Amino acid sequence: MSRAKHQQLNIVDRPLTKNKAEVPTVSLSAFAYLFSEYIQYLVDRANSITELEERLERVGYDVGVRVLELLSYREKSLRRKTDVLDILRFIHGPAWQYLFGKTADDLQQAANADDEYYIRDYDLMVSRYISVPRSYEPFNPGTLAAGMMRGMLDSAGFPSRVTAHFVSHKDRPRPITTFMIKLEPAVMQRQAFLEAAKKG
Amino acid sequence: MSVYSLYVINKSGGLIYNRDFTEAARVDTNDSLRLASIWHSLHAIAQQLSPVPGCTGIELLEADTFNLHCFQTLTGTKFLLVVDPHASFIPALLQRIYELYSDYVMKNPFYETEQVIKCELFDENVEQLIRRYLQQAM
C-alpha cells in the first residue's frame, strides 16, 4: 500500500532516495540527442572554439556544484574532505559512477608536478557519438565533464583548473579522454600545512 | 563472398555517403552520384507502379555479378549495399548500418541533416561491422 503510494508521487515530491538501486537513470539516446542539440546551440552562438569550450564548461560547473551537494547528502559523508587525494578519489569513484554509470579508468599524479593530476576515461559517455571535425580540432566535448569536476572541486574548497584532452594510445582504438587537473597554489600551501600538522 | 560498397542517399536523392570496401568496386565519383539519383527515381517510380498494395519500393536488384540491396528508412533515407550474389543476411546487415547511422551520424552535433556525412566514428564503426560480417561469413 505504502509502496503504491510512493510510486504515485510525482518525482519532485518524492524524498531523495538513498537506495542505490532506485537511483533513476536517463536513457543514453535521450542524453545524446539533447547534448548534441546543446552543442549546436553553442556553436551558433560562440565566436571561437575557446568561447565554445568556456560556455560548455560553465554549464558543467553548475552541474558539478549541485552533484557534490546531492552526493554528500546521499553518502552521508557530512564531513568536508580536506585532502586533495580524498576529493579526487571521490570524483574518480562515486561521483563518476553516479554521473556516467561507471567509475573513471585511471587517476594519476603528474610525474613532474605536485599540483597536477590526471583522470582518464577510455570511453567517456558524453563524447561517445561525437566525431569532432578537423575545423573544430582542439574542441573536446568532454569539457562538459571537466566543468563538472571543476564545480565539484571548487565547491569542496579546492579551486583548480580542469581541462579535457584527447590523447592517442597505441593499445587503444580510440583516443583516451584525459582530464588535467591543476590545483591552485593556495590549495597546495594548505595541503602542505595540513600534512605538517598531522606529523605533529 | 564479399561486400563491395555502401551508399547512403538522402530523401531528395542526393548521395551523402559512399564507401567502397574492395578496390574492384571503385567507381567514378560522377557515376556514383548518378547511380544515387537514378536509384532514387526508379525506387519512387517502382513504388507507384507496383501492383502489390503497400509496396515500399525496390528492395533488391539481382545481377549476374552482384546484388544490390536497398533499405529505406521511414524518413526516406536509403541505404544501398552492393554485395556478392552469394552473400547472405544482408537485410540484417543493413539494419545494423542504419543503427550505426542513427548513433554516430544523427547524434553528432557537427553533422547537418541531409548533408554529406563526414563522421570519423561512423566510418570506423561501419568498417568494423563489415570486417566482422566477413569474418563470420567465412
Contacts of A35 in chain B (CB under 8 A): 109
The structural domains of chain B, ordered by start, are 3-137 (3.30.450.70)
Q: What is the pLDDT of residue A20?
A: 59
Cell triple for A112: 613532474
**What is the C-alpha end-to-end distance of chain B, expressed in Å?**
8
Determine, for residues B120 and A37 on separate chains, whether the beta-carbon distance falls below 8 Å: no
**What's the whole-number mean pLDDT along residues B13-37?**
90
Determine, for residues B120 and A43 on separate chains, whether the beta-carbon distance falls below 8 Å: no
Q: What is the pLDDT of residue B111?
A: 93
Contacts of B107 in chain A (CB under 8 A): 29, 32-33, 36, 129-130
Contacts of B121 in chain A (CB under 8 A): 129-131
**What's the whole-number mean pLDDT along residues A2-15?**
62
Nearest to A133 among B107, B110, B122 (CB): B110
pLDDT at B63 over 90: yes
**What's the whole-number mean pLDDT along residues B71-91?**
92
Q: For residue range A39-92, list pLDDT tens digits in order.
A: 999 999 999 999 999 999 999 999 999 999 888 887 776 677 888 999 999 999
Contacts of B119 in chain A (CB under 8 A): 131
Residues B101 and B122: beta-carbon distance below 8 Å? yes
Task: Categorize the per-residue pLDDT at A200 as very low, low, confident or very high, splitting at 50, 70 and 90.
Answer: confident
Size of interface A-B (CB pairs under 8 A): 38
CA nearest to B108 within chain A: A130
| ipTM for this prediction | 0.85
The chain-wide mean pLDDT, for chain A, equals 87
- Between A116 and A4, the more confident residue is A116
Tell the CATH superfamily of the A28-199 domain: Trafficking protein particle complex subunit 3 (3.30.1380.20)
CB proximity list for B78: less than 8 A, separation 6 or greater:
B7, B8, B9, B39, B40, B43, B70, B71, B72
Task: Categorize the per-residue pLDDT at B136 as very low, low, confident or very high, splitting at 50, 70 and 90.
Answer: confident
Task: Categorize the per-residue pLDDT at A8 as very low, low, confident or very high, splitting at 50, 70 and 90.
Answer: low
Contacts of B106 in chain A (CB under 8 A): 33
Specify which of A145-159, A163-177, A185-199 reaches the highest per-range mean pLDDT.
A145-159
Q: What is the pLDDT of residue A199?
A: 84
Is residue A200 classed exposed, middle or buried when 0-12, 13-18 and 19+ CB atoms within 10 A define those classes?
Answer: exposed
Determine, for residues A32 and B121 on separate chains, whether the beta-carbon distance falls below 8 Å: no
Q: What is the pLDDT of residue A1?
A: 44
Determine, for residues B109 and A136 on separate chains, whether the beta-carbon distance falls below 8 Å: no
**What's the whole-number mean pLDDT along residues B80-107?**
93
What is the SS3 assignment for chain B?
CCEEEEEEECCCCCEEEEEECCHHHCCCHHHHHHHHHHHHHHHHHHHHHCCCCCCCCCCEEECCCCEEEEEECCCCCEEEEEECCCCCCHHHHHHHHHHHHHHHHCCCCCCCCCCCCCCHHHHHHHHHHHHHHHHHHC
**Contacts by residues A82-89 (CB-CB < 8 Å, ≥ 24 positions apart):** A82/A157, A82/A194, A83/A191, A83/A194, A84/A117, A84/A158, A84/A183, A84/A187, A84/A191, A87/A152, A87/A153, A87/A156, A87/A158, A88/A117, A88/A119, A88/A181
CB proximity list for A189: less than 8 A, separation 6 or greater:
none
Return the amino acid letter for A156: A
Return d(Cα A119, Cα A91) in angstroms, integer: 9
CB-facing half-sphere around the CA of B33: CA atoms within 13 A:
5
pLDDT at B119 over 60: yes
Q: What is the pLDDT of residue A23?
A: 64
